Every structure is written in C-alpha cells, then in structure tokens.
Amino acid sequence: MTQHIESHHRRRSIDVSDECPTRAIRHRLQNIHVATPAADVEYLIRDAVNTRRALGHAEWTREREDEAVRFALWEHAENFALYAYVMSSHVTDCRSPSKAAP
C-alpha cells in the first residue's frame, strides 16, 4: 500500500509506501534549518539508514533508502515553502500609526 501526501503549499503531492518512516524523517527534519542544502539532507538520511543497516536491520533495501531520501527532500522543500510563506506573507507594518504612510 502507499500513502498519498498532499502539499500544503501548491506543490506536487507525493506517494510513498507504508514502509517509508515518514514520522521519523519528519522528526529528523525538525532539527535542521530550512536553508540546509538538499545534499546535506540526503546525507543525513543515508547516514541514518547506514546506521540502521549496521545494527542488523536488513529491511533497509536500496529502494527503501531511495524512497526515504525522496520523501525527506520533498518534506524539506515543504518546510522551506512554509518558511518562505510566513516570512513574505505575514510581514506587518511595524511603524507607529503617526508615521504610517497616508
């Protein structure tokens, strides 16, 4: 089975298998800055997968690893889209009412 995940920022949706650890990936992404390069995000996920393999988790096939990276990059782009939206759309005029433009 697959999970269909919709974008909240007018981006393409993504389909991933139920075996893709989306919650764990989202948790990892919460701890990195939205401007982190995609190559660093990919390294973070592949490094975690290699650690799991070293601990004997044979279920991490190359296909599953690639899917996890694909989801992580998609989710990271979602986080960046949210950041860009908040920073550009919700800027308020901080000037005092007496100095506001007519």
Is 98 a domain residue? Answer: no
Q: Where are the beta strands (DSSP E) in 1-102?
A: 2-5, 14-17
94 vs 31: which has the higher pLDDT: 31
Helix (H) or strand (E) holding 50: helix 38-54
Is 37 a domain residue? Answer: yes
Q: What is the pTM of this model?
A: 0.80
Residues spanned by the domain of 47: 2-91
Is 99 a domain residue? Answer: no
Is 102 a domain residue? Answer: no
Tell me: the pLDDT tens digits for 40-74? 999 999 999 999 999 999 899 999 999 999 999 99
Is 97 a domain residue? Answer: no
Tell me: the pLDDT tens digits for 81-98? 999 888 886 555 455 455
Number of domains, the chain:
1
Is 41 a domain residue? Answer: yes
- Please, is 53 exposed, middle or buried when counting C-beta atoms within 10 Å of its C-beta (0-12, 13-18, 19+)? middle
